[in-house]
Structures are given as C-alpha cells and as structure tokens.
Amino acid sequence: MFSRRNRRPTSPELLTAWESLDSGDVPGALRQLRGTAESAPLAEVALVVGRAAGAAGFEDLQRAAAALAASPGKPQRLYDFGYACVERGVAHLAIPALREALRLVPDSTAALREVVSAYEDEERHREAVDVLTAHEDRLAAWPDRYLLVFNAVLAGDLDLARRHHALLPDPDDAMWQPARDRQNRVLARADRAAPFTPLDGTDLRGWQFVLGGTMLGTLSPYGFEAGMTGRYAWIQDTPEQCLRGLLRLKAVLEAAETRPASVSLLPDRGSRILGLAAAEILGLPALPFAPERPDTVVLSYDLNDTLAAEDGPSVLKHLLHRTPGQVLHEHASCWTDTPAVTPDSVALLHQSVVAPWAPGLRVNADGGVEQGEPDERPEAEIAAGIVAADPTPDEGDGGTPADPVERLTDFVAAVRDDWLSGERTRVTSAGPVAGSRFL
C-alpha cells in the first residue's frame, strides 16, 4: 500500500494531490482529493490528508490521519479521522472513513450520527436518509428521527418526511423545541404550497418558500438546463436588474396583502442605495433601520455584506427574531454561502455578484477587459438611476421557462397565510433543487 522507503501513496489517483503538496499547494491537493477520496485506499487518503493538515497547522487532524494511516482497519481510528475531518470543514474526506466505521460497528450511534453530519455538510441528503432508514429499528426520536425528517425534506421526499414526522414525539429536552417548531413550519409550508407548485427537482421558487419561507422574485435566464435551474453563478449586476427586483417585491407585497408603512434602511452603503430606490418604487418614507419598528420593509442589497459591516452583529440579532409586520428583502442572495438570517423575499440567487456601484469589469478602448472604478456618486443619485432604469427582462439564452409576474403573484396569494412566520433561521442547504457550483 505504501512505499516503505519514502511513505508516498502508490495509488495513481492520489499522486497528483501529493505532488500539489510538494509544491506547497494545499488547496489544490484538497480539490484533487474531492474526486478521489471515495475510491482510493483509506490509508493512502489519510497519508495525504495528514500531510495537508500538517501544512495547514491542523494538529488534531494530522494526528488522526497518522493513526488511521498506520492502522486503517480499526473502527475508532476511522471514527476519529472522520470526526476531525468534519470539524475542519472537509466532510467529503470524512465520509468514506465514517461509513467504514459504521460497517464494522453497525450498532455505533456515534458513527451513525457523525456520518449523517458529514452527508449533511456535503448536501448529500438522500444518502443521509438512506443510512438512517437502514438503522431505523434503533433510531432515537431526538435527534435521529428528527434528522431523518430533516434530510428527507432536503432530499425532496415529502412523503417520507411526513410519515416520520408523524412518529416524532415532542422532545423531552427543551433544547430541541426550536427545531421541532421549525420542522412544523417547514412541513406546513409544504402542505400549503403543494397544490399550487410542483415541488420537483426544478421548482426553485417553491422549495425556497418551503425550506425558508422565502419568496424568490426572479429566475436567472441563463443556464437553466445546464445545472443553474434559475440561479446565477457570477453576475455583474445592473440598475435594470435592481429595478426588476424591486418591482417584483412590490408585486409580492400586493399579492400577500401586506401593507408596510415605511422602508427601513440598513447601515451599509449598498442597502441604503437600494432602500432609497425601494422607497420611491413603493411610495413609502425611507427611515434608518430601527429594530422595534413594525410594518416596514427592511432592505438589504446583500445580507452577507450587511452582516459583515461594523453594525452587523447587532443587525443579525434583531433580524433573526422578526418584528410584527416586518418584511426583510434581500436583492442578491448568495446560495452557496447563505446569510446567517434567511430573508423573507429575495430578488435573485447568485454565487458571486458585483453590485452596480462596485468596481466591475468593462471594455477598454483597445477592446480588452479591465477593472472599472467604483461609483462614488451620492447614494440618492445612484438610487434615482435605479428608479429611472428600464425594467425590461433580459431574454437570456432562451432555455429558462417563462416566468411572468402573474405566476409569482398567484403563488404568493395562494400561500400568503404561511408567509412571514417564525424565526428567520439560516438554511445552509440548496435543498432538492441542485445547482452547479463553481470553485
């Protein structure tokens, strides 16, 4: 398995990762392992991971990897390695070891729960469901059967989720009650939405509502059948797109019969710009954000930017628990790094976005592409440009299904009684609608 002389992996699929480490490229080695760790010998994977962990200063993972490389057939060492991988954010490397530990010790609750955790981190929810149902005869109600329901929903299997949810008693430990309440709301939204939307593997809007209570305003007109399914990968945003998002927000509020009295401006520059434009579109006064203010639309351009600002921790605390009548709208929401607060309304989903006022790419006089300058005009002036923009939709590549505003408003009207309820808990998974990710 190893060359005893120099302790290098002998598996051809791991040599590229090893050579990346020779050149000091730890991220490159880990990317290589993503495609090979499931099929390569565990001892050799551990050898590579241990070297990468040492270079990164992860002593716990380095020790666990060394122990597994020395004794790859011992369940405890398999478990320790898998646990350390999950803790260090490389759950894909944990799965083969934890799966083997569970095979060797099939009654190990620790191994079962840890492999489910690893599957969840990788958004491999169907496999989490499969391993839990394979051990159904010994599942504890909390957390095991709860996790089965949780992963069944994220895998899109609502029938299985409902069946096990009906078997799940209220928790004895109060720490699980918020999770129980969230799960009740998710399944209530699914029941409400099911007659009006397919909730299949391409129903991005329907599942956004079910999983987080979010109304999705627009679908990307590019790459629908190439794995994007209504999401953007990279987008250089425009005033026109901002206006389309705000007009969809207005339509959502009207269909939901929600009548805000103001627009609340969050403290970051992008949110203030978009909030000023929203106030004009909605015909409402624009006021600085105040947590206690009811019946208001809180505007964020990108919640990750908002929450990263100096006042972010305070804003997070206040937005997680909703004020009556408060609607949180995010224009550009990152679906691969979801914000810590789930918005009530989103204009578009992206992996990477450049705001209209940020330094974006432009064509120079020679026909090449260069980095532009930021738009440093006053916020009110940029907002006025958004209001005056042309809201005509981008035709895209012709592959995205038509999405007239009536389709959105009919859905909102049908499910409005289950909108704007509960905490805005973060949803970390893309759910049943898969999306192509670009590293």
pLDDT of residue 332: 98
Mean pLDDT of 316-345: 96
pLDDT of residue 421: 93
pTM: 0.94
H or E stretch at 426: none
Distance linking the first and last C-alpha atoms of the chain:
31
pLDDT of residue 13: 81
Q: Which residue has the higher pLDDT, 327 or 368?
A: 327
User: Across the chain, what does the average pLDDT equal?
Assistant: 95
What is the rounded distance in angstroms from the CA atom of residue 292 to the CA atom of residue 161?
Answer: 36
List Cβ neighbours of 155 (8 Å cut-off, separation of 6 or more).
125, 126, 128, 129, 432
Across 147-156, 184-193, 377-386, 391-400, least confident range: 391-400
- How confident is residue 296, by pLDDT bands cut at 50, 70 and 90? very high
pLDDT of residue 372: 87
Cis peptide before 143 (omega within 30 of 0): yes
Residue 428 predicted with pLDDT over 80:
yes
Name which of 41, 39, 45 is nearest 17 in CA terms: 45
Domains of the chain (ranges; CATH) run 12-188 (1.25.40.10), 200-418 (3.40.50.2020)
Mean pLDDT of 125-138: 97
Mean pLDDT of 410-415: 98
What is the rounded distance in angstroms from the CA atom of residue 355 to the CA atom of residue 376?
Answer: 13
State how far the alpha carbon of 359 is from the alpha carbons of 51, 236, 241, 272, 355, in Å: 39, 10, 17, 18, 8
DSSP codes of every residue in 47-99: HHHHHHHHHHT-HHHHHHHHHHHH-TT-HHHHHHHHHHHHHTT-HHHHHHHHH
What is the rounded distance in angstroms from the CA atom of residue 106 to the CA atom of residue 54?
Answer: 32
Asked if 425 and 184 touch (Cβ cutoff 8 Å), the reply is no
Residue 272 predicted with pLDDT over 50:
yes
Beta strands in 156-259 (DSSP E): 215-216, 234-236
Structure tokens at 327: 């609607």
User: Residue 169: how many CB atoms within 10 A of its CB?
Assistant: 9
Per-residue pLDDT tens over the stretch 338-367: 999 999 999 999 999 999 999 987 666 676
The residue count of the chain comes to 439
Per-residue pLDDT tens over the stretch 48-59: 999 999 999 999
